[in-house]
Structure 1
Amino acid sequence: MSASLDSALDPMEEIRFRKKNGQMWIEIQKETHFNFDELEQIMVIFFKIQKRDEKPAAFDLISRAHFRDVLHTGLGMTDAYMMERVMVALDRGTSPYVTMATFAKAMSLYLRGDLEERITYAFTCYDLLGEGYLRRETMYQLMKKSISKASRDDDVEEAVKEFVDIMLKRMDLDLDGVINFNDFHKAVVNTPPLLESLGYCLPERPAVYSFLATWCPTWGKM
């Protein structure tokens, strides 16, 4: 993660921050997989990020740009196109800021999320139009963005079409020509590697372990 987050906070400053927000964190904790002590550590990371802004918009906000920096450098999520989808999936809005609650829930998902949560999140990332299902055209757009990075332009068109055909045959369980959430859910439960078949929207396990070892070393093994 950015070196600007490496320095420790002033002890009194950190105490004030914890006392000011402790009650709010009790409510936020209910929507995460963290115990209160773990959530406090996550919120201290949030505070360090916030301090990079000379004039924070509010006490419980950080900029999207700084949050994306955490995902990029701290959790190895480097696909710029998918990052746009990730931001929409996490906060369902267009604000240039990320709230303290959204940050906590995102970290909970990435560090401790179960398969059910990840399925819902991944499907939301892929559902570009918010229709509740994935059309052939949507899948094509997602895959073209992914494959085009590693292939020549004249190879992309055919490769993407073939992949989309394979995915539809594999996931369209009710044979209606689209992949709805139930189709996606059943396919991933039966074959978990299909979770990120349309784009990488979650950190890889080594990145998660590295993040925990660096920023949450007292947590032990997950």
Structure 2
Amino acid sequence: MPENIQNKLNISQIADKLLKDASVRFSKCEVENLLKLFSKCSRDAEKMDRMRFRDVLHNMFEMTDDMLMDRTFKAFDRDNDSLISKEEWVKGMSIYLKGSLEEQAKFCFDVYSMSAVNATESVISREDIHSMLKHCLVKQPTEEDPDEGVKDLVDLMLKKMDFDKDGRLSYEEYRRSVVEDPLLLEAFGPCLPCPKTRLVFLRSIEDPKMKKNNGNSGEVVAAAAESKLRPVP
């Protein structure tokens, strides 16, 4: 069997297996295109390393913050082997691009949480929040001590979200805050794609038949014109 036909068969089989998982919210064509993109970005390796994943976040989703890119990698890397498998890639992208509010809340919490109460329970500590907000905020020329402003903001966020007043956020506290006010989803830094890059990426992996049925809205055309991303061949 010719190699290209074998590759298509393998991709189809992997897609069929992944689609049995209810958490995967893509069509078969979209999953296959995601797998093709995975192979291209990982240079045909079975798993994608941190640097190649960072390239994806930077080039396709315009993420520039080193800390958030590394933490997003951690959230995708579910088995903590410092590599992203094809399964982690597709399931991660499903939440990243099409997840419900609760799913994306769990994803963002995993990005933000670096501390732990024990071996199984992660939390977002005061130090985590300070570190992330310090990276996100732009220093003003008139500020003598910008760190004081960050500390005040950390106190404000904990006052609003830390319901048991223990100086850290459990997942349940973070989830409850986000459900009550969805604007808090990315309170500690942009770790989800903006509407434009999300739209362009989804269009790039879309089934051609769907593109024809949906037509090309002005919004899609404008976003595509501004993006370097091209459809998966």
Structure 2 gaps of 5+ residues are 215-233
Deviates more, 1:107-116 or 1:127-136: 127-136
**What's the % identity of the aligned pairs?**
32
1 CA distance for matches of 2:6 and 2:116? 41
2 CA distance for matches of 1:92 and 1:134? 18
Which position in structure 2 is the counterpart of 1:119? 105
User: Which residue identity lines up with residue 40 of structure 2 in the other structure?
Assistant: K
Query: Over residues 84-119 of structure 1, what are the superposed CA-to-partner deviations in whole Å (9 max), with x where a residue is unaligned?
Result: 111111114664532111111122122211111110
Which position in structure 2 is the counterpart of 1:87? 73
Which position in structure 2 is the counterpart of 1:146? 136
Structure 1 residues 14 and 72, CA gap change in structure 2 (3 angstroms) = farther
**How far is 1:217 from its partner?**
6.2
Structure 1 residues 127 and 96, CA gap change in structure 2 (3 angstroms) = closer
Aligned counterpart for 1:71 among listed residues 57, 70, 91? 57
1:8-87 matched pairs, under 5 angstroms: 13-29=3-19, 30=21, 31-51=23-43, 56=45, 60-87=46-73
Contact 1:134–1:179 (CA<8 Å) still a contact in 2? Answer: yes
2 CA distance for matches of 1:169 and 1:208? 32
1:172 has 2:162 as partner: yes
TM normalised by structure 1 equals: 0.81
1 CA distance for matches of 2:167 and 2:80? 30
Query: Over residues 4-32 of structure 1, what are the superposed CA-to-partner deviations in whole Å (9 max), with x where a residue is unaligned?
Result: xxxxxxxx654321212433332322141
Structure 1 residues 216 and 36, CA gap change in structure 2 (3 angstroms) = closer
Contact 1:110–1:208 (CA<8 Å) still a contact in 2? Answer: no
